[in-house]
Amino acid sequence: MTTRPRTPAPGTPAPGKLALPELAEMKRRGDRIVMITAYDAPSGRIADDAGVDLVLVGDSAAMVVLGHDSTVPATVEEMIMLTRAVNRGARRPLVIADLPFGSYQVSDEQAIETAIRFVKEAAADAVKLEGAGPMLSRVRALTSAGIPVMGHIGLTPQTATMLGGFKAQGRNASKAVRLYEDALALEAAGCFAIVLEAVPSPVASRIAEALTVPAIGIGAGAGCDGQVLVWHDLLGLYEGTPPRFVKQYAELAPAIRAAVERYASEVRDGAFPEPKHTYSMSDEELALFDAALAEARAT
């Protein structure tokens, strides 16, 4: 059995934790960065054991874990609880907490207060926020407070309505230029990495080339410095039609359903539990127990 070190004090990198500056080094060396979402301790641990570099506690949790139709309803309390759980499982990967909608848009002060909660209460290594423009001052404020920030542009699910729905972004020259400028502005504001979601591959490649910090793609092609996928999408746990950028590496939902169906049927027909699933008692103690019951019944 592996022993895991205790969770360190907030803000203190755990022993063996990937160092944040290593990400830019990986980009420089051309080593692709692997990022995945996770929402609980077992998935954090599996991601760590599988050698993943970055674990994002995404507000996609609102959809894939909490059953909402969008990421918007995710709350700070929910995200803190999930981040804390992931952190108990993931030791080497940097654990990045998504700031939920409404927890950072109001002001720089609000963003700092929210992010500090993630660092202190959930031991998050970094936070992620969506957008550029007015969000640049949030990035500056957070990094000045010592909190590493990952940017996220392109399809930004928290503001998908403003973007006309869940669709690819930067598909004409002027919108592509805007994305390019936003990425450079986020880097200049202090982001240590930037997620590019649902962006045409040639646009993402040019952005990745222009940045010194890593561009992490999701639906942005192979020219990015790393890739991210949502845990439930990758494992086939979230049923329904996945976005075209998802590659399913397993189809776990049918396997899980079949296992639960078998369990239900074995409980109903008495095949489970078998003697090996329960505990024995010596004949002598059983006889004493029966005698005690008989005596109790007689009085």
Binding footprint of ligand KIV on the chain (CB under 6 A): 37, 56, 58-60, 71, 98, 152, 195, 197, 218, 228, 230
Catalytic residue among 187, 197, 261, 285: 197
Q: Which residue type occupies 217?
A: G
Cβ proximity to ligand KIV: between 169 and 291 the closer is 169
Smallest distance from the beta carbon of 222 to ligand KIV, in angstroms? 17
Class of residue 216 by CB neighbours under 10 A (exposed 0-12, middle 13-18, buried 19+)? buried
Residues 6 or more apart whose Cβ sits within 8 Å of residue 257: none
To ligand KIV, the closest distance from the beta carbon of 59 in angstroms equals 5
CB of 128 to ligand KIV, least distance (A): 7
Cβ at position 171, least distance to ligand KIV in Å:
19
Q: Which is nearer to ligand KIV, 162 or 294 (CB)?
A: 162
In the bound state with ligand KIV, the residue whose beta carbon lies nearer, of 54 and 141, is 54
Pick the closer one to ligand KIV by CB: 166 or 267. 166
Residue nearest to ligand KIV (CB): 58
CA distance 90 to 124: 11
3-class secondary-structure state, position 204: helix
Task: List the beta bridge partners of residue 215.
Answer: 194
- CA geometry: angle 44, 46, 51, nearest 5 deg: 95
- Residue 152's SS3 state is strand
**Is-catalytic flag, 25?**
no
User: Could you give the residue numbers annotated as active site?
Assistant: 197
